[in-house]
Structures are given as C-alpha cells and as structure tokens.
C-alpha cells in the first residue's frame, strides 16, 4: 500500500482555498449596500486620517480607526463602488482562511488543519462576512494572526515576531472594541503558563507592545464609552434586561468559574502543551464574558463581535473530534463543508432597498420635495425617547446619498421628539407640495410622527425591520 503523500493536505487546502475565493467573490455588486456598509463608504471617503478618526469617535462608539483608515487607502486605488468596498472583505476573508490552516498546522498537524479549514471555508457566516463592507473580516484576520504568532513565540521565542504580534494585537484593538475580549483571553492563558512554570518573556513582550501602542487611544475610548452608555445604547444594545439579581450574580459567578478553570485547571496527560485548552479559551471565553455582561449589565451579545471565536471553533471541533477518531474528524469536516455548499444558494440575506428608494424619489414628485431623515442614534423598539446628539444629519441619509444624487432637500428631524418631527414634516410638505420620509421607527412610534391624516396623504412605499419609506403629499393634491 502506498504511503500517503505529506503534501496531500496542502494540495487539498489549495483547492478549498480556490473554491472559497470564488464563492467569496461571487455577486459582490449584485445587492445594494446596507446602511452600515454605506457608513463604511462614507467614512472611507473622508479627505484624510484626521477626518476619518473623528467618524467613529463621534458617530460609532466601539468601532475604531484602523478599518476605516485602511478602507480609505484601499478605495483610493479601487474606487467606492459596491464591488470595491466589499472586495477588501474578500481579501481579508481568504487571508483568514489561510491563517486558520496555518494555525492548525502550527498547533496540531496538517490533516487537522485541513479539516478546520474545510469546516470554516464555506460556513455561512464566513461567506456573509466576506460579502460585507464592514470591519468584521478584519477583526477575524487580525485576531487569528495574533493567536498564530502568540503560539509560535510561546514555543519558539523570537523578539521580532513578538513585536509583530504586539502590533497585530494593537491593530485589533484599533479596529473594534471587541478585540479587548481576545486580548483578555490571551492574557488569561499566559497567566496560566506563568503559574505552571513556563516563563518565556516573549509573549508578555508582545502583550506589552499591544498595550503600549493602544495607550494613546485610552482617553478617546473613555469618551466613547460614555457615549455608548448615555446615548449609543439606544442603537445596538437597547434597554437593560429586567433579570432578577440572583440571575445576574449567578451569570457573573458562572463565567468567573469557567475562566478560573481555564487558568488554573489541570491539563490532561495527552495534552501537556495545552493546545486544546488554548483553542477552547480563545473560542469560549470572549463569548462567555460578553454573554455574562449582557445579563448583568446591558445586552451586548452579537456573533459579529466574537467573529474570531467562530473561526477557532472550526479548529476546536476538528482537533476535538480527532481525539476520538481521525476518521470521524475527516467525515465531520467533509460532511459539514458539503452541507454548507448545498445551503449556499438558499442562504441569501434580504436585499437592501436603497437603489429602489433612490429611484422612486428621482422619478416621482419633484426636485423640490424634501426627504426627511430622523436624527439621533437608531433606537431600539423599546428604547425611550432620549435626546442625543447622534447622527445630526440622520443615519439613513448616508445610504440614501450613496445612491441618490438629486437636488431634493435633505431635512433632519429629531427622532426622539415625534411632535417636533411631525410639525416640521407638515410645514415643509405643505410648502413643497410633497415629500418623503425615511424612518427607522415602527408601530405607534412612527404613527405619532406621521402628519395629520385629514390634511395629508401618506403612502407606505416600503417596510421592513427598522426601515420604512413613505410618500407624503397634501390631501387635496
């Protein structure tokens, strides 16, 4: 019987890599940009780094400078089309796939790495990230790269690689606040190493470089945190859950107990180098901490914020199943990849309507008809009407302006003051003879904002979750 070629896993990975690159690149410009993607385009189009830096500080707390800065220079070369904006995510996504394979080879073996790559490559979440002009593919790339370098210098000390690892960690923090969760997981496992007598200074140097490089941003982070608490929580987290105190305490203590086990628990004889524990910590701890915080403080859990954990979960599954059976590891990887490929044609997100909205404004009514946008942070349905300074021009004006270049006046109305918004709409529509409203509100919230039905005719042109589009005209027209 012929021996299996040691190059075979690499060759199969190359085939997976090629297929994934094609899938990630397919139909990049078919769907209109979503509102958040248009925000990326708007940020990247700023004239310089100073203006770009103010974008997340003022309008998007929790998201930092690095992604928008990189996208700025990328789009200066390739333009601001949907394909160009999303293609950077494609590049980052295929880089992440290569890093998952490299991490598997470094921590385990080529065949486990191949299985992990097969599990991750066609995962619907990986495909969605690749097709989205947002910072989440960059978070994936930087976090997995940092883990790979950290593991290498942990086993083979290198001062130059330690510095590079520290820079990658800082870049992760400068991309998204969620990077703190992965820096924390790494520090927890390095504490474990220290307790168990592994006193290699290079990983600690890497962590020090990360923290030193991020220190200049700490005052900005403090200001952003205040904005998140006082205003931006209206957007992506919403109001505090009314859990009983004992559930909050139990969730925090439970998360702390799991963290303590990862740091202080005994290692099995078959894994004295803690390979599985490291991958498990990176995969489990960020989501666990975020979930416990969501219960104890305010809801903040979203799979996007722990995207790197989803990639390392593929390696954890491959390595974990291999402990039981190599055959089952291979079958699991092949079966999962096949199911994902079968599901891909059906796994389509709802197309964004901004092209159609722009087309209707261009073809119906006149150029003098104002388009109204609610100023303020986009509110959760249950959030109170709290005055705030978020998006004074109206968040939805950003995707609208990406597709609509007409002269129609854009009017910002206070999203937190329905009475004032209604008055403005009625006055401007009466003067112009017609108008449009783009709203994030639903139900009673939007009804209190719409003009008097006896004096105005309101026609709903589009409605979905957190987006409604109305044509408003005087009743006599």
Q: Where does the pLDDT of residue 170 fall: very low under 50, low under 70, confident under 90, or very high at 90 and above?
A: very high
Output the six-digit token pair for 83.
């394909």
Within this chain, do residues 324 and 396 fall inside the same structural domain, yes or no?
no
| Per-residue pLDDT, 443 | 79
Q: Where does the pLDDT of residue 233 fall: very low under 50, low under 70, confident under 90, or very high at 90 and above?
A: very low
Return mean pLDDT, the chain: 89
Task: Give one DSSP letter per residue of 10-40, joined into a string.
Answer: HHHHHHHHHHHHHHHHTTTTTSPPPHHHHHH
Residue 3 lies in a domain: no
The pairs formed by 26-32 with CB atoms below 8 angstroms and a separation of 24 or more are 27/131, 28/82, 28/83, 28/86, 28/87, 28/90, 28/131, 29/81, 29/82, 29/83, 29/86, 31/82, 31/349, 31/351, 31/352, 32/82, 32/351, 32/352, 32/353, 32/354, 32/355, 32/399, 32/403
Within this chain, do residues 126 and 262 fall inside the same structural domain, yes or no?
yes
pLDDT at 68 over 60: yes
Higher-scoring residue by pLDDT: 260, 297: 260
Q: How far apart are alpha carbons 207 and 319 in whole angstroms?
A: 27
Q: Where does the pLDDT of residue 225 fall: very low under 50, low under 70, confident under 90, or very high at 90 and above?
A: low
Within this chain, do residues 234 and 377 fall inside the same structural domain, yes or no?
no
Portion of the chain with pLDDT greater than 90, in percent: 70
Q: Which residues contact 399 (CB under 8 A, 6 or more apart)?
A: 32, 33, 34, 35, 37, 38, 39, 352, 354
Q: Which residues contact 421 (CB under 8 A, 6 or more apart)?
A: 372, 374, 413, 414, 415, 449
Residue 44 lies in a domain: yes
Within this chain, do residues 342 and 372 fall inside the same structural domain, yes or no?
no
Q: Which of 21-35, 213-227, 322-336 has the lowest mean pLDDT?
A: 213-227
| Per-residue pLDDT, 62 | 63
Span 232-241, mean pLDDT? 53
Residue 159 lies in a domain: yes
Span 226-252, mean pLDDT? 68
Within this chain, do residues 395 and 331 fall inside the same structural domain, yes or no?
no
C-alpha distances (whole Å) from 464 to each of 35, 353, 355, 438 are 13, 10, 15, 12
Residue 1 lies in a domain: no
Within this chain, do residues 305 and 335 fall inside the same structural domain, yes or no?
yes
* pLDDT tens figures, 114-155: 999 999 999 999 999 999 999 999 999 999 999 999 999 999
* pLDDT tens figures, 288-311: 999 998 888 777 788 889 999 999
Within this chain, do residues 342 and 377 fall inside the same structural domain, yes or no?
no
Span 266-275, mean pLDDT? 76
* pLDDT tens figures, 3-53: 445 688 999 999 999 999 999 999 999 999 999 999 999 999 999 888 888
Higher-scoring residue by pLDDT: 186, 65: 186
Higher-scoring residue by pLDDT: 476, 322: 322
Pairing of strands 410-414, 456-464: unpaired
Within this chain, do residues 37 and 158 fall inside the same structural domain, yes or no?
yes
The pairs formed by 169-173 with CB atoms below 8 angstroms and a separation of 24 or more are 169/142, 169/206, 169/207, 169/209, 169/210, 170/209, 170/210, 170/213, 170/214, 171/66, 171/142, 172/139, 172/142, 172/143, 172/146, 173/64, 173/210, 173/214, 173/217
Single out the residue in 346, 369, 384 at which a domain terminates.
Answer: 346
| Per-residue pLDDT, 2 | 38
Which helix (DSSP H) or strand (DSSP E) does residue 444 occupy?
A: helix 443-447
pTM: 0.91
* pLDDT tens figures, 370-384: 999 999 877 665 555
pLDDT at 171 over 50: yes
Within this chain, do residues 154 and 218 fall inside the same structural domain, yes or no?
yes
pLDDT at 229 over 80: no
Q: Which of 197-201, 240-244, 350-354 has the lowest mean pLDDT?
A: 240-244
| Per-residue pLDDT, 142 | 98
pLDDT at 228 over 70: no
Single out the residue in 322, 346, 370 at which a domain terminates.
Answer: 346
Within this chain, do residues 77 and 220 fall inside the same structural domain, yes or no?
yes
Closest by CA to 224, choosing from 61, 67, 68, is 61
Q: Which of 189-193, 297-301, 305-309, 454-458 has the lowest mean pLDDT?
A: 297-301
Can you tell me which residue has the tokens 């690159």? 21
**Sheet harboring 467-474: ordered strands across?**
410-414, 371-375, 435-439, 467-474, 456-464
Number of structural domains the chain divides into: 2
Within this chain, do residues 277 and 412 fall inside the same structural domain, yes or no?
no
Q: 437 lies in which domain range? A: 354-474
Single out the residue in 300, 321, 346 at which a domain terminates.
Answer: 346
C-alpha distances (whole Å) from 88 to each of 80, 202, 365, 379, 422 are 11, 32, 38, 30, 41
| Per-residue pLDDT, 116 | 97
Within this chain, do residues 328 and 417 fall inside the same structural domain, yes or no?
no
Residue 283 lies in a domain: yes
Q: How far apart are alpha carbons 381 and 239 in whole angstroms?
A: 9
| Per-residue pLDDT, 354 | 96
Residue 178 lies in a domain: yes
């Amino acid at each position: 019987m012929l021996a299996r070629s040691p190059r075979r896993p690499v060759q199969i990975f190359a085939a997976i890599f090629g297929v994934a690159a094609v899938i990630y690149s397919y139909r990049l410009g078919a769907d209109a940009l979503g509102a958040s993607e248009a925000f990326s385009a708007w940020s990247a189009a700023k004239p310089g780094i100073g203006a770009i830096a103010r974008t997340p500080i003022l309008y998007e707390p929790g998201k930092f400078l690095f992604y928008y800065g990189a996208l700025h220079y990328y789009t200066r070369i390739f333009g601001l089309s949907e394909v160009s904006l999303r293609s950077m995510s494609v590049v980052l996504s295929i880089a992440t796939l290569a890093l998952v394979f490299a991490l598997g080879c470094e921590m385990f073996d080529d065949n486990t790495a191949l299985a992990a790559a097969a599990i991750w490559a066609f995962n619907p979440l990986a495909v969605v990230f690749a097709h989205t002009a947002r910072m989440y593919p960059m978070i994936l790339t930087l976090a997995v790269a940092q883990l790979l370098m950290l593991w290498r210098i942990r086993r083979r000390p290198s001062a130059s690689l330690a510095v590079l690892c520290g820079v990658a960690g800082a870049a992760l923090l400068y991309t998204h606040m969620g990077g703190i969760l992965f820096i924390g997981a790494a520090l927890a496992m390095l504490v474990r190493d220290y307790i168990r007598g592994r006193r290699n200074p290079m990983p600690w140097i890497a962590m020090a470089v990360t923290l030193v490089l991020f220190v200049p941003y700490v005052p900005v982070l403090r200001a952003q945190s205040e904005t998140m608490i006082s205003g931006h929580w209206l957007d992506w987290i919403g109001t505090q859950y009314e859990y009983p105190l004992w559930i909050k305490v139990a969730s925090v203590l439970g998360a702390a107990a799991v963290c303590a086990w990862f740091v202080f628990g005994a290692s099995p004889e078959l894994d004295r180098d803690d390979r599985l524990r490291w991958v498990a910590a990176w995969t489990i701890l960020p989501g666990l901490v975020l979930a416990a915080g969501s219960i104890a403080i305010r809801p903040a859990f979203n799979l996007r914020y722990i995207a790197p954990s989803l990639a390392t979960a593929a390696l954890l599954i491959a390595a974990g199943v291999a402990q039981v059976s190599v055959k089952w590891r291979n079958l699991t990887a092949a079966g999962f990849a096949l199911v994902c490929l079968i599901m891909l044609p059906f796994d389509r997100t709802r197309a964004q309507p901004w092209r159609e909205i722009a087309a209707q404004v261009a073809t119906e009514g006149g150029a003098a008809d104002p388009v109204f946008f609610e100023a303020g942070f986009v509110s959760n349905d249950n959030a109170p009407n709290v005055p705030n300074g978020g998006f004074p021009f109206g968040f939805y004006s950003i995707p609208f302006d990406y597709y609509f270049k007409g002269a129609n006046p854009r009017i910002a109305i206070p999203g937190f003051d329905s009475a004032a918004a209604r008055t403005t709409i009625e006055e401007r529509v009466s003067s112009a003879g017609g108008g449009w409203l783009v709203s994030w509100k639903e139900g009673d919230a939007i009804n209190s904002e719409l003009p008097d039905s006896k004096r105005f005719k309101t026609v709903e042109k589009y409605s979905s979750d957190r987006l409604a589009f109305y044509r408003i005209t005087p009743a006599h027209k």
